[in-house]
Structures are given as C-alpha cells and as structure tokens.
Chains A and B, each alone.
Chain A
Amino acid sequence: MTIQILRLPLWLLPSFIFFTGCMHSPSALERQDRKTYAAFQRSVEKAIASAGESVVFFEVENAGGGGHGQKTRKVNFSGLVLTKEGHLLAPFSIPPDGETRVEAWVGERRYLARSLKVDDSLGMTILKIEAFSDLTPISLESSTEIVPGEYVYTVIGTDEDREFENFVFQGFAQGVVQGRYRQYSLSPVPDIARGAPLYNSYGELSGIVAQANAWAIIDIAQDIKDLLNRAVNGNGNGDENKSEEGWFGAILGPINPDYARLVDLPPSGLWLNYVFKDSAAYDAGFRSGDLLVELNGSPMRMTGARAYRYFLQTLRPMEGKPFSAVVIRDGKRIKGKGVLQKRPEPDTLRAEDLGITVSEIEESMVVRYNLYTDEGVMVTEIKSGSPAATGRSFGEPLLTSGDVITSIGGVPTPDLESFGKALESIRKDKPSALLVTFQRGSITGIEALNLRIGSDKGDQ
C-alpha cells in the first residue's frame, strides 16, 4: 500500500512551510521549523502505519424508498477493523435484517458484510466479514484527548477507483461538545471520513469521526468494546437484537432550566413524567413526578433534548442490565436500583373477516395513544377493501387505527382472548351485518360491518 498526503490545505499548515531553492542559509528559527515539520510528517506516517490495515471503506446500498423505478441509493463511509476474525465497526445504524447490502473494502479486497449488532444510542453497528486471512485490528486503547485548536489527522480507506490508497485529511479541532461522549468539532472533513480514526499531532488515536464531529475515543472505547462483545458472543440475528433491548419503563422529559433555577433543582434533571406499573423504574421505587438527577453513579448532564440523549447513552438500555439512579421527590433524594427489563410486546390478532388487526392494550399504550379505555382491543391495521375499510362514502372507513373495540356482535371484548372467542362465534353464526362498538379518542361509536364485503360471495 502506498501512502500519499493529498489535498493538504496549505492555509492550514503551520507557517514553517517555505519554498525550497532559497539561497540563504537557514536561520536557527528556520532550522527549528524544519525539525518541527519533519516531526509533523513522522506523526502522519505513524498514524497511517497504525491505521493503514485497519481502516475499512464501506459502500452501503439500500433501495431508497423502494418506489418503482427509484434509483438505489449508495453511501460511502469509513470504518474500523475490530478483530482479526473480521468484525468491523460502522458509524451507522444498519439493522441486521438483510435488506441493506453492505460491501466492505479492507485493503484491496472486497467483502460482503453482514450486520450483527446495532446500537441505536451509539449510532454504530458491528458487521462481520469472512476474511481470507487474519486482519489487523485497530487498538482502541488510548488516553489522549484533543484540545481546541490542535491539529488532527484522519486516515480513510478507498476503493479501486482510488487505487486502494489511504487518504489522509488534516484539520483542526474547533471545540469540544459536551455529552455522555464528548465530541470534538472539526474543521470540514469529507462525508467519506465518517467512521475513520482521528489522530492528534503526535499520531496517537484520539477519536472516531462522526459527521462534523469526532467522538472522543477515551469516552466511547469501552462502549464499542461492549458492543463488540455482545456481537461476538450473541448468535447475532435480528430478532435477538430486538429482544435484547432493555426497558426502563417511564416517559421522560427534561426539566425546564428556568423552572429548575426558580425552585433550586438541578437544571439537567429528567422528569419521570409517567412511570409504568411493573416496569424496571417502578420496581426500583420511582414514581411519576420524580426528577431523575443521577444515573449509574454520575450526575445527569445536559439540558433539553440532549439530556435525554445523555440518559440513553449512559443507561445503554439492554435487557438484564443493572442500573442505579437517584431521583428528587418532595425535595428529598431517593436512591433506587434495578435491572432493565424486556420491553413488553402486546399480543396481536389478525381478524381477516373484519379486515383488521387488533392488539392487546398495555398500560404504556394507554398513555402513548391517549386511550380513554383499556377495556378493549386496539385496532392497529385496517386492510383496504375490507368490511372495516368500506364506509358509507369515499374515504370514510368505518373503523380506523387507534379505535378501541369494546364489543363485537353484542359481546364485550375487554381483551384479546375474549375478542378471539367472539370472533369464533361470529365465524359460526355468519351474520350478514356485525355490530361493533368502539371508543375513538374521547367518544364512543357504533357501526355495523358488512362481512360479505371483500368475500367471494359479494353483498346480499
């Protein structure tokens, strides 16, 4: 692999660059500058030497929207080799559903990569390629931090169009964005650098490039290792990934900083606006109206929407993961700890005869959809052209998603089981018109469905 330093913006370079061919003897200062420049080049070489084999060039294809005749969208970005067996880190959420085609160039070889594990709170994915030989993983061990104004380098991978050469981009750190993971804001780097390693002027790994920022490696390395661990140890299919998602069990909202100052509460707290019964948060002793001020041993940070992101990134919600937290209730600090649970997934039932899918109603759905009753089953889907979708005039279906069906054929349906039973007896009786009572928002309604619509027999 050859190494080139390309597009090095001259205005960014330190002032010690001068033109060759000068006839005068170098002064002490110039000699010093030359030394510095040489050191600078060595650090770039060092960066490339440590990164060279470990930088990946990704090409991700997904059918953009899937519309007829629509072009497939291709996105290129960088990534890192994490294990010699071929585990790669991509700076994107790529669901392991197989619908997204991901190609990874490592050196001069192209591999098809499959997504093993996504972490949405990190916005990263572990992918796996079947490497022909052992790869060179990057070492995430680093204790370096970058200060604003410092020169930085990033090394990106390329494909055959660019002859597989590593490209180096130079920039400087403009500032530090606080958060669960600090981010260095960078002078402009190309989109393609996203996911690439970021080095300081001594050639030490300091970050991973995000969009206009770079994550501080010192903050994020452990979570990447954890993610890798889960990817390596789990069997890594999509369902498993989904079921592992942990559930805290509360609706959270940031405290208004003006209010916090007024009543002397921490301005970076998160309200537990609603704590669901039998959730991890409830079992830990937390209740609606508590203010979360500490999580897993550290005080909450950030305000507004960023406070919520901080919460997610700190909690890293996975089923079975322990957590501890401190809330303020009536001016008192209350500690609690627990283990994150699996998010409850309500059972659903497809009632083909009516043209609807209905779901059991969980407590969280009552709050999320502002339901006025849980004594019923909620319509989640309406099949077009079915009895439920065919109203009296165009565009006015008899039932809509979000309706809570409270009875069919005069039989109350307080839960999915009773709905299923009522449906069975309807299948036996075959009424030509089926009376349905339901709750829609704050109002109740009564309609009659013509069950012959959409069937072969047609209407009578």
Chain B
Amino acid sequence: MKKHLPPLLLLSALCLGIQAQPLLNPEPTAEALPAANLNPVNIPEEIMQKVDPSVVSIQHEYAGGTGFIISEDGYILSNGHVVLGSDPEQPTEPAKRITVILSDERKYSAKVIGFSMDPDVALLKIDPSTPLKPVEFADSLAVSVGQRCFAVGTPVGLKRTFTSGILSNITRTDLGTETVVFQTDAAINSGNSGGPLFDSQGRVLGINTYASRGQNNLGFTIPIDVALEMIDDFKLHGRFIRSLVPLYFTNEIYDELARALQVENGVLIGYVMEGSSADKMGMKSGDILIKIDGEPVYAKTKADLLTFEWNQTIQPPGKKIEFTVLRGKPGEYEEVTLESVTEEFDLFPAHGRHVGELPEHRYATLGLGVERLTDLHRIIHEVQPGANGVFVKTVMEGSVASRAEISPGDVIYSISGQEVSDIATFRKVLDLELAKREKAIPVSIHRNKLNLITAMAPDYLMHKREVILIAPAGDNPDLDLIRRELLAKGATVKLATPDAVDLPRQAPLPPLKADLAISDLENEENANILIFTGGEASKTFWKDPQVLNVVKMALDNKDQVLACIGESTLLPVLATEGKLEQKLTLPKDLSGQAVMRGASYTGKEVESEKKLVTTTGTDKDVLRAFLQEVANIR
C-alpha cells in the first residue's frame, strides 16, 4: 500500500540496505585501461569543459558533498542530507558554517535557503564576486532506460571526479522515497551526494543522492524536475510545502486488484482517517478514485502511484479540488463526486532515518524530550483514538524520566492533574511545577490501550540558588533552553531585560515575561548567579555602561557566580581595568579582542575559574555542559 505518507516508506529503503551516504570503499579505478576503447561513446571534451565550472564542492562542520550552480547570482542545488545540521532537537536546522568551493578553488560561505530530506533536495545561496556559470537542465520526464549519462562530484573527499554509465532504471520506487528516482551504473560514492547527473549533452538529469552499500554500480538520482518544483517553496517559505487533502492512503490497482475489483483504471483508497478532511468530504475506504478535476487518474504500478501522489503534493494549498470515485460492490459501482480544498500538510515527525520537521522540547536535566502530537504520530505509533497530549520522543537512560518509567512513544496527557493537550500547556504546567520544586510531579500517560500514572522526582541540584538570566531584547533561540534546564535543576530563575521588555519564544510558546529591568540589576547583589546570554544582539551589552558595571560588581562579589555565553563572554574582559584575573573562553572571532586586553583565552567550549564560567555556546550540548558547570559551583 502506498500512502500519502512518504516517511513511512523509508523503512523499506533501510531494509534494502540502501544508504544515503557513508560509502568509504571506492572501487579501484580503471585508469590503467584505455577508456576510449572500452567506451564506444566518449563524452566529448567540450561537454566536460561546459559542465565543469558549474559543479561545486560543499563543506561544513559535520560533513560535505557536492552541488551545482543553477543561477549566475549564486543559487546552488544539492541534497538535503548534505547540508543537514546535527541537532536532533531541531531537525529543521541546517549546518551552520557551510563553505562552497568553486571549480577554480574560490571559496564562499553559503546560506541554506531551504532543504528537505525527502525529496532529498537543498537550495543554497552564495554571493559571488562575478557572475557564475549555471548548468542547463534536461527534461527528466522524457528520459529512457539505457540513455548515456555521467556524474561529476567529489567522492570520498577526492577532488573533482567524472564517472559515466547509463540510466539503469527510471522508475525506481523500492527505496521508500516520496518520488520515483533514477538508477544509474555511473559510479556514485559518498561525497557524490548532491552532485549532478548529466546527459550526454551536459544537461542535468538529476541530483545524485543514494548509493547502495556493498553493491557495485547501483547509484540513485533524484530527477531534476522534482527539485525544480521545490525551488520556489524554498525561496518563499524556507521549506517545501506539501499540499493535499488529509488524510487518506492510496493503493495502486495492480493486476489482481483490478480483477478482484473489476475495474480497468483508477487509484484505490485503502484508508481514510476518521475526522480528517478526507473523511469530512465523504471519502471512504474502498473508493476507487478515477478522476481529479475531471482528468482521469490511474496507478497500475508503484511508480504510477508515486507520480500520482507527487502531482497532488505539488499543487498549491487552498485550491479547490474535485474527486470522482467509484463506490459500491465490484460490478455494481456508482460514480460519486466529492469536493474539497487542498491543505498545507502538517509537519512530519522524525521517523527513523527520515529527519522530520518537528522541533523537540527537551529537558535534558530530566532526560525527557517531547514534541507535538500529530496525526502521523497517531498512525505510526498507534496512539489510541481520541487521545490528546504531547508525544514523548526522547527518554535518556538513567534519567529522572526513565526512573519514572516513561518511554519514547508514550503520550503524556496530564501533569499534576492538569490536562496538557498541547506543547504550550505542557511547557507551562511543567515549568510551574519545577519552579515550585515539587518533590514528585505526577505524570499521566497513554501507552497503547493503557492509561498509566507515574511521577518524576527531579534531583533539584540547584535548590535554593537564585539565578538571574540577563538577555538583550529580541529573538534569542537559546534562552528558552537555558531557562527550562535551570528550572529543572531547581534554581529560582529571574529574567532581566532592557527596560523589562518581554522576550519572544519559538511558536507555540508565549513570550517570556521579564522580572526586572537591567537597570535594577545593581540592587540584586544577593542573586547567586548571573548569566548573560549570547547571540548577535548581546553585542549591545559591550557598550552598555550599566551592564559593564553589573559585570564588574559581579566579578568583585565573592559570593556571586558570573556566567557568560557566546558574545557576552567579552563582557568580563571589557569590564575589567587591566588584566582579567580568571582564564576564560570566547567564540573564536572574539578571542583576538580578549587576548589583546591581556585575558587568558583557553579555547575550550566551557571554561570555569574562580566563579567565572564562560562558554562559546556553540550548540545545545555545549550550553548544557556550561549550565552543569554553573550548577557545580558552590
């Protein structure tokens, strides 16, 4: 059964052992052989020279791959997995420091405009000093098996490599991808990912994506027409927007089904989710879809079905749509017309290798991470119908949550007797209970058909310690994480901002209320810990005499811990006349300024000496290690 549910299918790709990336055993090259004699159709020199300047190498802090230029002003196509970051709590985050290397070795930092893991496509942008040479596109809907093609890329870290072959299959569907993919015998290895597959005239047929581990000459390529459909969404919304009438699953009508159902053509509806828009418009399991907006539709094979699905997915949301279905017993069908409007499809939960788009709210101190419960969770994890709550995504071993025997896949529906049907309520209730330092927090859970009750008993290592978080106005992605981890550690947390303005948080959370203005900080000598947050906006602190005065007082106050993140790590240096006594760490680009002022910079991710704790604040793990260091100081 094929569904309007691409990530589920990825499981089958895993079963086949198809790997998106790590292939580290390059085949011995055939360079000793006279290639021209083996290869009856050489790719002409001028074609090679035509495509060469358009292929680029992509590198970042975690990995890299290949890409190709599609516009003079620097848009580049590649794979989603090539630019993916490494933050499991924020699967929409790309890698942070991406460098694009052109064929002439010029290097540019690149921005990810949008990316998707299925279809595995990314759009990047660089700002080149001179116009670039874009590729030409082939019509990937008009290809044939056996057609010659060649790939260009940087496999296994090797520089520019050309490999050639034929299109071995143009309707590959067994990999669990959302669209059909091409299969080629041109050698594709890890590092080729995101690179172009050209036809014999040097036009792009697709984006090389997968290779199968341990097999020879099985490479897979996303047809370029798929990628081109996604570019506008990336530019407008930063992500690919799927459109459909949720939520029904379809089946291709293969030979036996056609005979049993006594139909020639159409698409079988196998499942309609109760209460969904598809259900509301009157679609029923067993219906045979024969027309959409008066145009006949059919799927005899899985490839047909994927193409049918993809053509629905790329319609704009909000479009009127008319379905004509056959309903009734085989041989006695009546034709029924159903009308609806396409909708933007809900975000995907992470599902195995397929990285979703749902952010996780993780309390590492409790070892608990939750995400919004979506309809797909209900289907994939078989959540009991009607259950509402938040979905448990992570339970860390040996943690407070695991002691409470909470498991991934559980649905938490109540905390301390209060219903928590969505993330915002869950966060509000849990944060309040933590702020009260409740010894045990009752948690009610749906697990399959069982309703269970347990309790989390946090350790509250920072009990009786008062922390003031000092943040500049504006967005601060780390602030919420810092606050919730401190609450879970049992600290009393106050927020100080310029003029006590409230700070926005990521949707759906309401803004964070400020407890005091930065100008009031001078009277807060009794606070145990001051934490200055990082981020671009924190640079305003550098020249703020009030802030610098508070920092100086904290440095002089033997009973107060001063902790600084990212951009704020420069504050203790700036607030000190002469040499800062304690060693510290800073983001790399600030270290020069600190060293010039005589500070001892250690370059670690977290540094702590004599009640001064500093961190580069690079990622969530570093921030959490920093908070633990702060908590450890007595």
Q: Which residues of A contact B (CB under 8 A)?
A: 251, 253, 256, 258-259, 261-263, 271, 273-274, 289, 366-367, 370, 372, 392-396, 410, 431-435, 437, 441-450
Given pairs A256-B405, A442-B382, 18 additional interface contacts (CB within 8 A) = A256-B455, A258-B455, A258-B457, A259-B454, A262-B442, A273-B451, A273-B452, A366-B449, A393-B173, A393-B302, A395-B12, A433-B256, A433-B259, A433-B260, A435-B257, A437-B285, A441-B379, A447-B251
A259 in contact with B453 (CB, 8 Å): yes
Q: Is B440 part of the binding interface, using a Cβ–Cβ cutoff of 8 Å?
A: yes
Known: A259-B453, A446-B285. A392 touches B382 (CB 8 A): no
- Tell me if B546 is interfacial: C-beta within 8 Å of chain A: no
Which residues of B lie under 8 Å from residue A432 when comparing CB positions? 256, 259
Q: Chain A contacts of B12 at CB under 8 A?
A: 395-396
Closest-by-CB residue of A relative to B383 is A442
The 3 A-B residue pairs whose C-beta atoms are closest, nearest first, are A259-B455, A448-B256, A433-B256
A432 to B329 Cα, complex, angstroms: 17
| CB pair A271 B452 closer than 8 Å | yes
Query: With A and B bound together, what is the CA distance between A152 and B61 in angstroms?
Result: 63
Q: Tell me whether B480 is interfacial, beta carbon within 8 Å.
A: no
Q: Which residues of B contact A396 (CB under 8 A)?
A: 12
Contact with A along B149-175 (1 / 0, CB 8 A): 000000000000000000000000110
B454 touches A256 (CB 8 A): yes
The answer to whether B333 has its CB under 8 Å from any CB of chain A is no
Chain A residue nearest to B416 (CB atoms) is A262
Q: How far is the CA of A64 from the CA of B442 in the complex (A)?
A: 46
B498 CB-CB contact with A under 8 Å: no
Within 8 Å CB of A446, what residues of B? 251, 257, 268, 270, 285-286
Q: Return A378 CB to nearest CB of chain B, in Å.
A: 15
Q: Is residue B456 contacting chain A, with contact meaning CB distance below 8 A? A: yes
Q: How far is B403's CA from A271's CA once the two chains are assembled, in angstroms?
A: 17
- Chain B residue numbers with a CB within 8 Å of A394 are 174
Cβ contact within 8 Å between A444 and B270: yes
Contact A262 B439 (CB under 8 A): yes
Known: A259-B440, A273-B452. A445 touches B271 (CB 8 A): yes
What are 12 pairs between A and B in contact, CB < 8 Å? A256-B454, A262-B455, A367-B449, A370-B449, A435-B257, A435-B260, A442-B383, A442-B385, A443-B270, A445-B1, A450-B255, A450-B256
Choose one: B257, B271, B329, B455; the contact of A448 (CB below 8 Å).
Answer: B257
Distance from B395 Cβ to chain A, minimum over Cβ atoms (Å): 14
User: B455's closest neighbor in chain A, by CB?
Assistant: A259
With the chains together, A262 CA to B417 CA distance in Å? 13
Interface string of B312-343 (1 = CB under 8 A from A): 00000000000000000110000000000000
Chain B interface residue count, Cβ-Cβ cutoff 8 angstroms? 46
Find the A residue at minimum CB distance from B450.
A273
Chain B 262-303 against A: per-residue CB contact (8 Å), 1 yes, 0 no?
000000101101000000000001100000000000000010
* B552 at the A interface (CB under 8 A): no
Q: Hey, which chain B residues are within 8 Å of A262, CB to CB?
A: 439-440, 442, 455
CB distance from A372 to the nearest CB of B (A): 8
Q: Assess A392 versus B254: contact at CB under 8 Å? Given A271-B452, A435-B260.
A: yes
| Chain B contact surface mostly | mixed
| Chain B positions 1-36 with a Cβ under 8 Å from a chain A Cβ | 1, 12, 15-16
Report the nearest B residue to A431, measured CB to CB.
Answer: B260
Task: Decide yes or no: A259 and B442 within 8 Å by CB, A274-B449, A392-B254 being known contacts.
Answer: yes
Q: Is the CB of A393 within 8 A of B448?
A: no
**Is the beta-carbon distance between A448 and B261 smaller than 8 angstroms?**
yes
A447 in contact with B174 given A370-B382, A370-B448, A393-B302 (CB within 8 Å): no
B444 to chain A, nearest CB (A): 10
CB contacts (< 8 Å) of B271 on chain A: these are 443-445
Query: CA–CA, A447 to B270, complex, Å?
Result: 9
CB neighbours (8 Å) of B273 from chain A are 443
Determine the chain B residues whose CB is within 8 A of the CB of A251 once the complex forms: 450
Q: List B contacts of A443 (CB < 8 A).
A: 249, 270-271, 273, 379
Report the minimum CB–CB distance from B374 to chain A (whole Å): 13
Q: Which residues of chain A have C-beta atoms less than 8 A from B261's C-beta?
A: 435, 448
Chain A residues with CB under 8 Å of B174's CB are 393-394
How far is it, in angstroms, between the C-alpha of A273 and the C-alpha of B174 when the chains are bound? 41
Whether A261 contacts B260 by the Cβ 8 Å rule is no
Listed residue (A393, A433, A450) with the most chain B CB atoms within 10 angstroms of its CB: A433
A259 to B445, CA, bound (A): 13
What separation, in Å, do the CA atoms of A289 and B451 have in the docked complex? 8
Using A437-B286, A445-B1 as known contacts, say yes or no to A274 and B450 having CB atoms under 8 A apart: yes
Task: Give min CB distance, A325 to chain B, whole Å.
Answer: 20
**CA–CA, A443 and B173, complex, Å:** 22
Report A423 CB to chain B, min CB distance, Å.
16
Q: Is the CB of A256 within 8 A of B404?
A: yes
Cα(A370)–Cα(B446), bound, Å: 12
Of A253, A395, A410, which one neighbours B15 at CB under 8 angstroms?
A: A395
**How close is B118's CB to chain A, nearest CB, in angstroms?**
19
Contact among A259, A289, A447 with B257 in the assembled complex (CB-CB below 8 Å): A447
Interfacial chain B residues near A392, Cβ < 8 Å: 252, 254, 302
A273 vs B260: C-alpha distance when bound (angstroms): 44
Instruction: Report how far A106 CA is from B424 CA in the complex, Å.
Output: 71
Quick check: B249 and A258 within 8 Å, CB to CB?
no
Instruction: Report the Cα distance A393→B256, complex, angstroms.
Output: 14
Are A444 and B450 within 8 A (Cβ)? no
- CB neighbours (8 Å) of A253 from chain B are 450, 452
Which residue on chain A has the smallest CB distance to residue B16?
A395
**Which residue on chain B has the smallest CB distance to residue A259?**
B455
For B16, what are the chain A residues with a Cβ–Cβ distance below 8 Å? 395
Q: Does B378 contact A (CB under 8 A)?
A: yes
Residues 220 to 264 of chain B near chain A (Cβ within 8 Å): 249, 251-252, 254-257, 259-261
Distance of A235 from chain B, by nearest CB (Å): 39
Q: Which of the residues A258, A289, A433 comes within 8 Å of B404, measured between beta carbons?
A: A258
Which of A396, A441, A446 has most B Cβ within 10 Å? A446
- A410 CB to closest chain B CB (Å) equals 6
CA distance A443 to B278 in the complex (A): 14
CA distance A271 to B444 in the complex (A): 14
Within 8 A of A (CB), among B419-466: 439-440, 442, 448-457
B449 touches A448 (CB 8 A): no
Are B260 and A258 interface neighbours, CB within 8 A? no
| CA of A444 to CA of B272, assembled, Å | 8
**Which residue from chain B places its CB closest to the CB of A449 in the assembled complex?**
B256
Q: Which residues of A contact B451 (CB under 8 A)?
A: 273, 289
Task: Tell me the complex Cα distance, A396–B439, Å.
Answer: 50
List residues of chain A with CB within 8 A of the CB of B448: 367, 370
Chain B residues in 8 Å Cβ range of A370:
382, 448-449
A410 touches B440 (CB 8 A): no
Kindly state the separation between the CA atoms of A122 and B321 in the bound complex, as whole angstroms.
66
Taken together as a complex, chains A and B put the C-alpha atoms of A25 and B136 apart, in Å, by 110
Q: How far is the CB of B368 from chain A (nearest CB, A)?
A: 14
* A442 cross-chain contacts in B, Cβ below 8 A: 378-379, 382-383, 385
Shortest B372–chain A CB gap in Å is: 18
* Cβ–Cβ contact A433 & B440, under 8 A: no
Q: Which chain A positions have C-beta within 8 A of B455?
A: 256, 258-259, 262
A288 shortest CB reach to chain B, Å:
8
Contact between B454 and A410, CB atoms less than 8 A apart: no
With both beta carbons as reference points, the residue of chain A lying nearest to B261 in the complex is identified as: A435
A444 touches B454 (CB 8 A): no
Max chain B C-beta neighbours (<10 A), residue from A256, A259, A433:
A256
A261 to chain B, nearest CB (A): 7
Closest to A438 in B: B270
Which residues of chain B have C-beta atoms less than 8 A from A274's C-beta?
449-450
Q: What's the least CB distance linking B110 to chain A, in Å?
A: 38
B268 touches A258 (CB 8 A): no
Q: Are B285 and A444 in contact (CB under 8 A)?
A: yes
For B285, list chain A residues within 8 Å (CB): 437, 444, 446
- The answer to whether A448 and B260 touch (CB under 8 A), given A251-B450, A256-B454, A443-B271, is yes
A170 to B440, CA, bound (A): 47
Distance in Å from the Cβ of B398 to the closest Cβ of chain A? 15
